[in-house]
Structure formats: C-alpha cells, structure tokens
Amino acid sequence: MQSNQTTTFAEQINQAQHQAMQDDPAMLAFGLGISDPKGIFGTTTGLAESFGHERVFDMPTAENGMTGIGIGAALAGSRVLMTHQRLDFFLLAMDQLVNNAAKWHYMFNGQMKVPLTIRLIIGRGWGQGPTHAQNLQSWFAHIPGLKVITPSKTDAVAAQLYSAIMDDSPVIFIEHRWLHQQQCETSQIKPLTLRPEPVRVHKTGADYTIVANSYMVLESLIAARKLAELGIDAEVLETAELEPACWQPVYQSVAKTGRLLVCDSAHTSFSVAAEIISSVTERCFGQLKQAPLRLGLPDYPEPTSIALTKHFYPSADSITKKVMMSLQRELPASIQDADEHHSTRPHDVPGEWFKGPF
Amino acid sequence: MQSNQTTTFAEQINQAQHQAMQDDPAMLAFGLGISDPKGIFGTTTGLAESFGHERVFDMPTAENGMTGIGIGAALAGSRVLMTHQRLDFFLLAMDQLVNNAAKWHYMFNGQMKVPLTIRLIIGRGWGQGPTHAQNLQSWFAHIPGLKVITPSKTDAVAAQLYSAIMDDSPVIFIEHRWLHQQQCETSQIKPLTLRPEPVRVHKTGADYTIVANSYMVLESLIAARKLAELGIDAEVLETAELEPACWQPVYQSVAKTGRLLVCDSAHTSFSVAAEIISSVTERCFGQLKQAPLRLGLPDYPEPTSIALTKHFYPSADSITKKVMMSLQRELPASIQDADEHHSTRPHDVPGEWFKGPF
Amino acid sequence: MNSLLEHYQNMLRIRRVEEAIAARYSEQQMRCPTHLSIGQEAAAVGVSASLTVKDKAYSSHRAHAHYLAKGGSLDALIAELYGKQTGCTGGRGGSMHLTDLSAGFVASTAIVGNSIPLAVGNALHQQVQKLDEISVTYFGEGATEEGAFYESANFAALRKLPVLFVCENNRYSVYSPLSVRQPESRSIVALANAIGLNAIEVDGNDVEQVAAATAELVKGIRNGDGPALIECHTYRHREHCGPNFDDDLGYRPEDEVAHWLARDPVTLLQQKLLDLGASAQQLEALDGKIGSEIANAFELAQVADFPNPDDNERFVYAE
Amino acid sequence: MNSLLEHYQNMLRIRRVEEAIAARYSEQQMRCPTHLSIGQEAAAVGVSASLTVKDKAYSSHRAHAHYLAKGGSLDALIAELYGKQTGCTGGRGGSMHLTDLSAGFVASTAIVGNSIPLAVGNALHQQVQKLDEISVTYFGEGATEEGAFYESANFAALRKLPVLFVCENNRYSVYSPLSVRQPESRSIVALANAIGLNAIEVDGNDVEQVAAATAELVKGIRNGDGPALIECHTYRHREHCGPNFDDDLGYRPEDEVAHWLARDPVTLLQQKLLDLGASAQQLEALDGKIGSEIANAFELAQVADFPNPDDNERFVYAE
Ligand SMILES: Cc1ncc(C[n+]2csc(CCOP(=O)(O)OP(=O)(O)O)c2C)c(N)n1
Ligand SMILES: Cc1ncc(C[n+]2csc(CCOP(=O)(O)OP(=O)(O)O)c2C)c(N)n1
Ligand SMILES: [Mg+2]
Ligand SMILES: [Mg+2]
C-alpha cells in the first residue's frame, strides 16, 4: 500500500539505527530478537546483516545482567543501543538503570560517560494484558540523570532516535506499539542531525491547550479537529521530552489559553500528567481560567479480554468530551457517549495492519 | 537515657512485628541481617529468638528471587514481612513487585491474595551517597495494587506497621533512617488494632496548609512553630498513606487556607508532591489564593561529602523561608539564610545517637 | 499398559485441545497472545503422573499443557481464551495467566522466569507449615538464563525445599537458538547440580522416561531430600506465539525440524501402544471422546457472556 | 624473592593504609561508610601482579585494596574519604565509589554484585574493538548469590570474553555466615565451571598461590580461551563496615577467628621472607617508607579544600 513517497514510523526507527551504526563504528546494538526474522516489528531488520553479528546481536534472557553489560561497554567506549520488546520486561533491570547508568556520570564527577539508549516498546490491546502493556514513563522521568524521549510522529522519530543514540547520557526511548505502522511522506522527514524539539506544537489554537505525548498525540489531534468543528480552537502540544525544564512552550500556551488538559498514556495517579499540571500551576497560576485537567489510564492493570478494555484507553472522543464538559458546552449526540467505540475496526487493534498477537 | 515512660520509633516497629508474629502463626519475616546482632537498627531484635529461625530468617543476597519467594509463600497462605536495610537494594526486585505482587489479586480475578509487607529503609547523610539514600515513594504510589505507607511519628508507627502486615494486599512500608531513635511517651502510643489514619492532622491552622510525609513531617512541625512566632498560623498535615483517594483532609484544609506547600522527601520532579498539587488543584482550584508550592530534594543524586549535602535536604528553616516568601513577608534575620545549618550538630546526622556509618 | 494408555489419553487430549485452538485462532475471537505446547505434551503428562491434586504447580507463558495435565478445567481454559466471564480468570489474564486452584494449578505468568520464585515460595510455605504436598515449577530453557531461576534454585537448595523444577528444553527462545544465549559447554543438569538441585535429564518426548525420572525425583522430594530438577529435551512444532507453523522463516535447521517431528511424542506413544497390542479402534474411540469434550468446551465458551467492564475496578486491592 | 618482596611491599602498604584509616575514623572526619580489607590483601596483590595498567578493574563496596593494588592514587583515595575536592571523585562518591582511570581502576560500586556486569561489558568492548587488554571484576562470595553474577558469567562464557572474575570468599556477608545463604554442598568453583568459567580456588591468604593461579588464568584469557574465575578463600579481620574489631558480638566462632588471624596474609609473607633471608631491618625500612607516604596522604587530604556545593548541579547529564 506504500508508494515511494511514504515511509513508516518503524522504517524511520530502522533507518536511524542504520545511520548511527555507520556513523559510529564503536556502536553496539543488542536485545532479544534483534536479529531474528521479525526484527522487532521490522525496526531492526538488516542491521545484523549490514554491521555483523559482533556488533548487532541477540542475547540471553537476562535483562538485568545485559543492561549492566551495556553500561559497562558504554563506559569503556562503545555506544550502546538496547531494545526490549516490552517495557514490562525491563523491570528486571531497574538496579542497573537507576543505580548505575543514571548516576554514573554524576557520582564519578564527570570522569566517565554512559552513551546508552534503551528502546522500550509499550503494548496495547489484543489481550496484551496486565504485564505486556505498562508505560512507566513517570518512573524514568523521576530519576535524575536519565533522559526520557517519547516519540509520537513519523516525521521526527528518526531524528529523535538518532540524537538519543548520539547523546552521551543514558536515554530511555519509549515507543508505543500502535505507532509503528504510522505513515508519513518522506519529504516531511526531519534530517537526522536536526536537534529534535523537546516540545512540539502540532496545532496552534487560542481557546484550550491540550498536552499529550506518545500515542495520545494522535488521539489529541483527532480531538482537536472535532473540537474545531464544535467551535473550540485547541492548541495541541507534544511533550516529546519528559523534562520540566524544557516545557517553556507549554507554559506559554497555557498563559495564552488559560486552559489545560493533559493526556497521559499511563496510569493517571503519580503520573507525568501530574508533573505537567503541577509545573504549569506553579508557573501560570495567574493565567489559569480553570483547574487544569488530566485524562490518563485508570489506576488498575490492563485486563486481557476485549470486553474489558473498551473504556481503558482514552480516545479522541473522550478527549473531546472532557474539553467540552470543562467548558460547560453541549455535547453533540455523536459523542454523547464518548466511551463508545465508533470505528469499524475492533477497539483493541491499531489498524488493519495489525494481525496479532503482539 | 530512656525512662519507663518513653519508647522509640524503632522499638515500636519491633513490637508491632512481635505482636503480628504472635497473632498469625503462619507469618514469616525475613531479610538480610534480620536475625544478626544488630537486628536492622534494633527493629528486629528478638524476633528469631521468640519465633524460631524457620519463621524468622536471614537470606541470601538475592533481592529479586527472595521477593518472589515471599510472594509465593504469601499466595500459599503465609503472611510475609520482608525488610531491606536500604530501599536502593530493592531496585533489583521491581519485576516481582510490579508484575507479580501488585497485579496478582487483580489479574487472577480476586481468587488469590498477597499478604506481603515490604519494609524499606531510606538512608540520609553521613556519606550515604548516591545509592544509599533514595526514596522512590512515587514509583510505588504509581503502581495500582500497591499500598504505600510512610510513617513519621512514634505514636502511630506500630499501628501502621501492624495494619500493613495484617493487610491482605501488598504494602510498601517506607521508614526513614532518621526516625528510628525518635522518642515518645508510651501513654501516647496508638493501640495496634486501631485503623491508622491515612492523613494525620498534626497541627491545625487558618493561614497556610503544609503537607509532608515521612521525615519531612518533623521539619514541617518545627517550621510551623517558627511560623507561629512570625504570625502565620500554619496547618500541618501528614499524608501517611500515598493514595489520592484518601486525601480528603488535605483538600478540606486547602479549601480553608487557600494556600499549600508540599514538602517531599524525594527528588522534586515527577514526585508525590506533584501528585498532591495536581490533585488539590483539580479539586480546590476555586479556593486557591496562590499557586501551590513544593519543596523537595534537588534533581540530582545525594553526593557523599559533607561539604556537598548542606543544601541537599530541605529543613525547617527552608520551609519557613518558602512560606514567608510566598506571602511576601519579611524574613527575620535568623533565617535570612535558611540554607545555613544552625544546630550545633553537623547537618549530616540526625542526632547525638547516630555514630555512623549507616 | 494401563498407565501408558492413561498417558496417551492425557497427551492426546492436550494435543487435540491445542489443535482446536490453532484451528480457530484465525477467527480472531481468541484475542490474546497464545503459546501452544504442541510437541511438548510428554513433559507435562509425565510429570503430572507423580503429582496429587494437593501439589501446587506454577508455569510460564506456555502453560496450556501443564494446566490441563494437572487437572485444570478445560471449559475454563477455552472460555478464558475467548475472554469470557466463565474463563479461569474471568477474562482478566488470558492465555498467559491461567489458574485452577481446585486442581492445584496455582498460576502461570507471562514474564520469563518470574513464576519460578513463586513456586519456591510456595514450597517454603509447605515446609514451614509441614504440609504433605510439594510444589512444581515449569519453565523453558530460556528461563534458566534469568537470575530469578538461579536465585530461586539457590534458596530452594539452601532450605531443602520440596520443589521440583521442570525445564522443558525446546532449544529456542522465540526465534533464538541456544547458540546465541548459552555457551556451547552448557549442561543445564550439571549447572543445576552445582547449584544444589538433584538434577537429571531425559528424552522429553518419551513420556515413560519423563514419568519414571519424575517419580524418582518426587520420591526424594517428598522424603525431605530437597529440591530437584528434571530437564526434558523436546521441541515445539509451531511458532513461538500463535497458531501457525513457521518453519518457512528458516530460523530452525530443516534436518533438526525433521528429526524432531519424526519423534513426535504423541505418535511415538501411539505406536508403542499399538505395538503392545492396543487396537486402532480403541485409540480412535479415545480420540472421538476427546473430540466431543473439546467441541463442547468451545461451544460453551462461545455462548458464554463477556465479563462486565463495570467490575473493572474490583480486586485492585484485597477486600 | 624479588617478586615476593614486591608482593610484600604492596600488601603491607595496603595494610598500613587501612590501619591508618581505622585509627583515624573515629575522628569523624571521614564521614562515609567504609569497608576495610584488612586480612584480604593477598587477593588484590596477587591478582594485580598479572595485570597491566591497560587492564580494567571493577570492584565492590570493599575496594580499597583492589584500587591500591591496581595502582590507584593513594592521595586521591584518602582525600575522597575526607570528602575533599582532591578526592578521586571530588567527594561525590566516597569510599564505595572509587576510580582512577589512569591506573585502569574503573570503578567500585556500593550495590552488591552490580559492578560485575559492568566489567563483563568492558570486556565486550575490549573484544569487539580487539584491544590488547582484559577486564577484572572483584566481588565477595555474597555477590555470587545475586542473579547479576550468574547472568554476567553466562554471557561472558557465551562470548568468550576476556574477563577475570575474582571472588574473595571471606565466609561472611555482613554478620551472616554462609550457612544461611548457600547450601552446604556449594562449591563456587564447581558452580562457575558449570556456568562456563575456567575456575580454580586457592588459599587466598597465600599471595604466591593467588599470583600463580591468576597468572595461569590470565594467560588463557589473553589467549582468547574465554573468561575465568579465581576463588580466594580468605577472612576479614575487622567489622563489615567501619574501623573496629567486632568479634565481641559473637557472630563468628572463636576458633574460626583464631584460625584465620593466625594465618594473616601479611604476617605469613613476612615470615616467609625472613625465612628466605630478608633482614628485619630491610622490612622495617619498607614499613617506614610506607608510613611516611601514608602520613603525607593524610596530611594532604586534611589540608585540601572541600568541593564547592555550587557545582552540585554539574554532571547530572554529560556535557
Ligand atoms: C523477562 C522477559 N523477557 C522476555 C520476554 C519475551 N518472551 C516471551 S516468551 C520468551 C521465550 C522464552 O523461552 P523459553 O524460556 O525457552 O520458553 P519457550 O518459549 O521456549 O517455551 C520470551 C523471550 C518475556 N516475556 N519476559
Ligand atoms: C543489593 C544489595 N543488597 C544488600 C546490600 C548490603 N550489603 C552491603 S555489603 C554486603 C555484604 C556482601 O557480602 P560479600 O559479597 O561476601 O562481600 P564482603 O562484604 O564479605 O566483602 C551487603 C549485604 C547491598 N549493598 N546491596
Ligand atoms: Mg525454549
Ligand atoms: Mg563475604
């Protein structure tokens, strides 16, 4: 279905890795399945063939040890990229990540660096269930010394990944599974060496600020279109980097609109959304016309059955509904029940391309 | 120095465990050093002697495996208490905690329970440094299915621990090392079977709401006394349980005072303080007279040298200063430089009783 | 021959269940990642022959065979795959989170290696409470690469806990061969012995070998001699996750595949039974009976109600 | 005798450094948790004899001996304990986070077992980059209980990485004897061999044994034969953390303590040297020289400036 003019999110991730491996001969890439026939949803295809199995390799099922090995190689002078097919598996490696990678440059007084990037894929739907669908972005963001990047759009993801890899600090790179097939024209692709924007403004608007990251950016943009039809001019911003110091554009937007909804792709409490709201309130209290709102996942694990996930993930409709209600505006009948799923495809798959099971 | 009338935080923790072991013959208690001559800062002394080494035992240095073993025993019908001398060591066990303990009751549809309590001790000062002083309370609070208790006062800690142990859900029990020697009259001790309050009001006041937990409650109470001298009537609340649904008293207090400072004993960004501020703003926006503020640890690891930690931990003086400044009031000379340490003891020890090294 | 016939019945039943799942998976009504055990039935059945209903079993992502061999309800399994209220976790856990407490099948989990410590913890409870039962933990050879396996085995050996480790070595973790994960010199039994488990390896496609070895190990465990490990060499016939054959991908050498398919545990046992004088009709009758049981389970699953999402907030905490 | 004398000098220097730390620790100016290696010097010195400055060493909480034996700056060590700007991490890491890159001592860390994978990762870099150097990882027997050890050793063996594992088995983890942590049957070398390391054990208080065994193992490693492990049986004389003797607490059997104190590695070697004809004066002169070096290091540390907390925000991220 793809013409020469279009490319996908997964392809872009693939290209960024190819370029980085080429640009830095001391770069290593490893992870479970990285060189297998499926190549991590196509994102690592061809790497081992191009750069050899010494630099691109599959590994034992040993997330903690292998993370430490990645850190050690990075300290020694390799540039390291690790990939995990699910963030959930990476929970085994928190000691290495937090006690070593994040603090190393600091606690050794700047004498060593950890050029390590860790790609973590977030599952959703098709029965991923309680232990294959967690996004713990707020955990990583809470740890000083880690950078956290949460890409959402095909045009920028290659530059984001390339710059993460080339960064001499450890970077957590969180990819939502439902983004991999997202298309874009190749002409729109940002050059790899362009410094990615920490906050991206995807739509300007005067009435309402909607902040989202990762997959929720897509839903927010659909919502903004619906809101426009309903007479609300929403501004949609993406916090692609989870670092309050970089969020100036968010503060500016709220200063303009006075209204804020933060869409989070993780559990709602103690979340990135809480930090955004708290940071905004601190800086823009005088300009706020109403309480900032958030819309995240409920505070329970993702159940497996399709019957139980219908309302688990906020959608464009639920965003629209939340905004309209906060403005005390009438909801059109079409989204009265925002929780109903309107698409023709089942709600637990991202698109026709998804055939299960992962 | 102790009379019959007084008891310490450590003793109370010890007593709660004795009582629980006695009340539930199927209770197990284990952890590195639990039965050694120092008995985890005296908190586990006598347990092995009273209940035998089969039920109370030291363990291999294997935090992840042993946590899973605790969960398995709990699933089978034991009531389990584990203790870690530092929270930092427990990072090895996040998979077992999050993927198993927290979700089990939920993902198996209520058919099994995990009566597991995990005591985690937070270090501070005397060169604890980057990997012996972390409080990741916001991580645990973010995970559905975990309860998080952060005691601060000797009068309630036994009841808090006892109820955590007797709870059929997994509970993270975070003890700040600087609390262990805190004294209190035995007559003030809450009965073990009293249901502990999730939010404790330690001082009422009309002008300002100060919310804190764990060790920061002590500093907040000193600050409130100073503020009183300066004509500010502060209310001091403790969020002893980290669960927004339980924070009604906080919302009520802010509705009354219109002003909020949250003191956090962890890194400031993506913190419990951010959740409290976000939750409060959501519920009390109309009553807020000014932007809610927070005071936490800076977003870098605790350095080791005493020369570097002077300003690392917020103190009563820095709380006082923050409140006064937010009210645009003059600061008395004595706390002009709130960051200077005024006590006669070095700033990196909790009191005379502390002789290092842990 | 009686016990052999019983093994055959159990293995064939598991095989037919899995084949039925495979056949209907593409209907997209079983919407969860599903790892089939086709080719590995002998391990589950051979081990279960030494277990009682009081013994407690834990397993991994590839758990259907262990669950069924331990006596887990077929109806509840199929309903779970369909995400129904009548599923063994009411649709919350799916194929990777099975349980049937009435059968002593405690749970399977989806994170590699992370149910091993649970089984050891169960054994700790059994030992301290002096219960007349043991624990069993099923896992693949990939799981032995996880520190969780090692730490659990060490503690089990330290405390001489009543737990049997069952390692099904099917040579692959997803598409990854042993050669990229474990040193060539590796012997899982030698390693387990060095940790302190009483370990033996068997042809995991020969149910008699599995059953005999397990019987001996379990006798020792019940005797208080401490934990043991059985390594069953075996092979999965289909893709890692999902219903299909995937040898077109070429990740497994053709002769290796051919070798193992020729040693299919169900066929081997069937041949043996015929050699021993069982009649083809007798075996076919068995198959027919199993077929109706399975058809019935699918029928029930399909007509059952979906769980009610209004209950989604229940059971976050124990009540 | 020349190499023995060198060993002696290195061991005695470490001993005297640690004794000086112990003597002054109660002044409360070295304000960080400090784990002394007194009694365990032979392992560090015997291993280092086979290392060049290009080889990279990693260690644990108990790292002073490894750091000094590898050639780490004494002045920077003492200054670090005093929390000074001139310390090897400028006061940020303290005793548990030592580094001297110019000596090839990369780092020690405070979490049990968590520097082992780092050394293996360093060896991966060395192998891929075809560097003419190896990695070394020092740890206690307690660390072998961590999955991190096991996972690292497996990968090192899988890839035949140039890394030497040095396990100092001093029989205790804090106050906990081996009996509450590892099964009685445990042999760390047997276990390491089963994982795939070329492993041997030696009397860790006999520097000659350590040096000879290391030389052989390191030869194989440099040869590309893959990773190795040396287990050094030894004993710490003082408390786990801090400057004092603590056998009044009674956690170690008296006869065990007596046995090991009688086999003090420094005294053993001194006796041997005397037997071989070294003069008491010669050895005393050595001691005297070491004494002045140490006195000077403490002097420098005490007069050095404290680091400036205004720089506290530097180095959170690489610049
Ligand atoms: C900690 C973790 N890492 C990776 C995965 C992804 N994964 C699921 S099953 C599997 C294969 C494990 O292989 P093995 O243990 O041999 O079991 P088999 O599938 O062969 O039965 C992997 C890697 C996971 N679920 N958990
Ligand atoms: C993961 C972790 N668990 C526990 C501790 C506490 N601790 C510090 S040193 C130590 C002893 C480790 O024993 P061993 O590895 O034998 O080293 P030794 O102290 O005997 O040299 C322990 C348990 C820690 N630092 N990290
Ligand atoms: Mg396998
Ligand atoms: Mg030791």
Q: Give the tens place of pLDDT for each residue, D191-201.
A: 999 999 999 99
Q: What is the DSSP string of B277-331?
A: HHHHHHHHGGG-SS--EEEEE-SSPPPSSGGGSTTTS--HHHHHHHHHHHTTPPP
What does the alpha-carbon distance between residue A138 and residue A155 come to, in Å, rounded to a whole number?
Answer: 25
* Chain A, nearest residue to D88 by Cα: A108
User: Which chain A residues have a beta carbon less than 8 Å from that of D117?
Assistant: 64-69, 71-72, 96
What does the alpha-carbon distance between residue B59 and residue D78 come to, in Å, rounded to a whole number?
Answer: 34
Give which of A186, A179, A149 is closest to A4, Cα–Cα. A186
- pLDDT at D11 exceeding the cut of 70: yes
The letter for the amino acid at B57 is: F
D240: three-class secondary structure by DSSP? coil
Residue A145 to chain B, least CA–CA distance (Å): 7
- pLDDT at C269 exceeding the cut of 70: yes
Is residue D1 domain-resident? no
What does the alpha-carbon distance between residue B172 and residue B179 come to, in Å, rounded to a whole number?
Answer: 17
The size of chain B, in residues, is 358
Asked if A37 and C249 come within 8 Å (Cβ–Cβ), the reply is yes
From chain D residues 184-243, the ones with a CB under 8 A of any chain B CB are: 241-242
C110 lines ligand 1 (CB under 6 A): yes
DSSP state of B99: I
Is residue D110 domain-resident? yes
List the single residue in B59, B105, B147 with the smallest CB-CB distance to C315. Answer: B105
User: Which chain D residues have a beta carbon less than 8 Å from that of B67?
Assistant: none
Q: In chain C, how many domains are there?
A: 1
**B74 near B80, Cβ under 8 Å?**
yes
**Cβ-based neighbour number of residue C284 at 10 Å:** 10
Continuous segment of H or E residues that includes residue B228: helix B216-229
Bridge partners, residue B236, by sequence: B203, B210
The size of chain A, in residues, is 358
Give which of B80, B141, B155 is closest to B116, Cα–Cα. B80
- pLDDT in the model for residue B339: 52
C225, two tokens: 């001699």
Give residue limits of the domains in chain B.
6-188, 199-340
User: Which chain C residues have a beta carbon less than 8 Å from that of A58?
Assistant: 176, 180-181
Residue whose CA is at the smallest distance from ligand 1 atom 7:
C112
Bridge partners, residue C232, by sequence: C168, C202
HEC secondary structure over chain C: CHHHHHHHHHHHHHHHHHHHHHHHHCCCCCCCCCCCCCCCHHHHHHHHCCCCCCCEEEECCCCHHHHHHCCCCHHHHHHHHCCCCCCCCCCCCHHHCCCEHHHCEEEECCCCCCCHHHHHHHHHHHHHCCCCCCEEEEEEHHHHHCHHHHHHHHHHHHHCCCEEEEEEECCEECCEEHHHCCCCCCCHHHHHHHHCCEEEEEECCCHHHHHHHHHHHHHHHHCCCCCEEEEEECCCCCCCCCCCCCHHHCCCCHHHHHHHHCCCHHHHHHHHHHHCCCCHHHHHHHHHHHHHHHHHHHHHHHHCCCCCHHHCCCCCCCC
DSSP state of A285: G
- pLDDT in the model for residue A264: 97
**D25 near D44, Cβ under 8 Å?**
no
* Chain B, nearest residue to C131 by Cα: B76
B52 dihedral zone (left: phi>0; alpha: psi -120 to 50; beta): left
- pLDDT at A125 exceeding the cut of 60: yes
State the residue for tokens 């060593």. A112
Ligand nearest D62 Cα, by number?
2
Ligand nearest B61 Cα, by number?
2
pLDDT digits (tens, 9 = 90+) for B254-270: 999 999 999 999 999 99
D254, two tokens: 């008296």
Q: What is the DSSP string of A177-223?
A: GGGTT-EEEGGGPPPTTSPPPSEEEEE--SSEEEEE-TTHHHHHHHH
* Chain C, nearest residue to A358 by Cα: C33
- pLDDT in the model for residue A340: 52
A108, two tokens: 């050794």
* Chain D, nearest residue to B347 by Cα: D31
Measure C116 CA to ligand 4 centroid, in angstroms: 26
Q: Check which CATH number belongs to the domain holding C58 and give it.
A: 3.40.50.970
Asked if A72 and D117 come within 8 Å (Cβ–Cβ), the reply is yes
Give which of A32, A35, A39 is closest to A11, Cα–Cα. A39
Task: Kindly give the number of the ligand 2 atom that is closest to the alpha carbon of D169.
Answer: 16
Per 3-state DSSP, what percentage of chain D is helix, strand, and coil (rounded to 5)? 50, 10, 40
**D195 near D156, Cβ under 8 Å?**
no
The letter for the amino acid at D86 is: T
Mean pLDDT value across residues B135-151: 98
Q: Which residues are CB-contacts of D13 (< 8 A; sequence separation ≥ 6)?
A: D68, D290, D293, D294
DSSP state of D270: H
What does the alpha-carbon distance between residue B276 and residue B296 come to, in Å, rounded to a whole number?
Answer: 13
**B218 near B263, Cβ under 8 Å?**
no
Chains that touch D (3 or more CB pairs under 8 A): A, B, C
User: Which chain A residues have a beta carbon less than 8 Å from that of C110?
Assistant: 129, 131-132
What does the alpha-carbon distance between residue D176 and residue B35 come to, in Å, rounded to a whole number?
Answer: 9
Task: Kindly give the number of the ligand 1 atom that is closest to the alpha carbon of A132.
Answer: 25
Asked if B65 and C147 come within 8 Å (Cβ–Cβ), the reply is yes
Mean pLDDT value across residues B13-35: 98
CA distances from B270 to B275, C73, C169, D287 (A): 8, 45, 43, 55
pLDDT digits (tens, 9 = 90+) for B91-136: 999 999 999 999 999 999 999 999 999 999 999 999 999 999 999 9
A129 touches chain B (CB under 8 A): yes
pLDDT digits (tens, 9 = 90+) for B32-73: 999 999 999 999 999 999 999 999 999 999 999 999 999 999
Q: Which residues are CB-contacts of D258 (< 8 A; sequence separation ≥ 6)?
A: none
Continuous segment of H or E residues that includes residue B357: none
List the single residue in C89, C111, C176 with the smallest CB-CB distance to A131. Answer: C111
B137: three-class secondary structure by DSSP? helix
B206 dihedral zone (left: phi>0; alpha: psi -120 to 50; beta): alpha
Asked if C151 and B65 come within 8 Å (Cβ–Cβ), the reply is yes
Mean pLDDT score of chain D: 98
C93 lines ligand 1 (CB under 6 A): no
Kindly report the CA angle at C35 between C30 and C41, in degrees rounded to 5?
A: 120
The letter for the amino acid at B63 is: E
Is residue D303 domain-resident? no
List the single residue in B67, B109, B168 with the smallest CB-CB distance to C89. Answer: B109
Domains A6-188 and A199-340 share a fold: yes
Is residue D16 domain-resident? no
- Give the pairing of strands B27-30 and B79-84: parallel
Residue A256, Cβ density class (10 Å: 0-12 exposed, 13-18 middle, ≥19 buried)? middle
Mean pLDDT score of chain B: 95
Look up the CATH number of domain B199-340: 3.40.50.920
Measure C139 CA to ligand 1 centroid, in angstroms: 9
Asked if B73 and C122 come within 8 Å (Cβ–Cβ), the reply is yes
- pLDDT in the model for residue A342: 55
List the single residue in C117, C125, C317 with the smallest CB-CB distance to B68. Answer: C117
Look up the CATH number of domain B6-188: 3.40.50.970
pLDDT digits (tens, 9 = 90+) for D80-123: 999 999 999 999 999 999 999 999 999 999 999 999 999 999 99
* Chain C, nearest residue to D191 by Cα: C194
Which residues neighbour ligand 4 (ion) by CB within 5 Å?
D 140-142, 170
Q: Which residues are CB-contacts of C107 (< 8 A; sequence separation ≥ 6)?
A: B75, B104, B108, B112, C58, C59, C97, C98, C99, C115, C118
pLDDT digits (tens, 9 = 90+) for A21-61: 999 999 999 999 999 999 999 999 999 999 999 999 999 99
List the single residue in C31, C113, C251 with the smallest CB-CB distance to A356. Answer: C31
A18, two tokens: 């190819």
Is-cis flag, bond preceding B357, omega within 30? yes
Measure A83 CA to ligand 2 centroid, in angstroms: 30
Exposure b/e, B217-236, CB count within 10 A at least 16 = b: bbbbbebbebbeebebebbb
- pLDDT in the model for residue A1: 42
Bridge partners, residue B171, by sequence: B117, B147
What does the alpha-carbon distance between residue D115 and residue D127 come to, in Å, rounded to a whole number?
Answer: 19
Asked if B129 and D28 come within 8 Å (Cβ–Cβ), the reply is no
Measure D144 CA to ligand 4 centroid, in angstroms: 10
Residue C122 to chain B, least CA–CA distance (Å): 5
- pLDDT at A231 exceeding the cut of 90: yes
Residue A32 to chain C, least CA–CA distance (Å): 8
What does the alpha-carbon distance between residue A181 and residue A200 come to, in Å, rounded to a whole number?
Answer: 21
Task: Kindly give the number of the ligand 2 atom that is closest to the alpha carbon of B131.
Answer: 25
The beta-strand segments (E) located in chain D are 56-59, 105-108, 135-140, 163-169, 172-173, 176-177, 198-203, 228-233
Residue A274 to chain B, least CA–CA distance (Å): 5
- pLDDT in the model for residue A4: 65
D95, two tokens: 């005793």
pTM above 0.90, yes or no: yes
Mean pLDDT value across residues B64-91: 98
Crossing angle of the two packed helices D41-48 and D207-222, in degrees rounded to 10: 40
Q: Structural domain of residue D287, as residue ranges? A: 32-73+96-293
Percent of chain A scoring above 70 in pLDDT: 97
Is residue C221 domain-resident? yes
User: Which chain C residues have a beta carbon less than 8 Å from that of D154?
Assistant: 145, 182-183
pLDDT digits (tens, 9 = 90+) for A257-294: 999 999 999 999 999 999 999 999 999 999 999 999 99
The letter for the amino acid at C239 is: E
Is-cis flag, bond preceding A292, omega within 30? no
Mean pLDDT value across residues A79-90: 98
Chains that touch A (3 or more CB pairs under 8 A): B, C, D
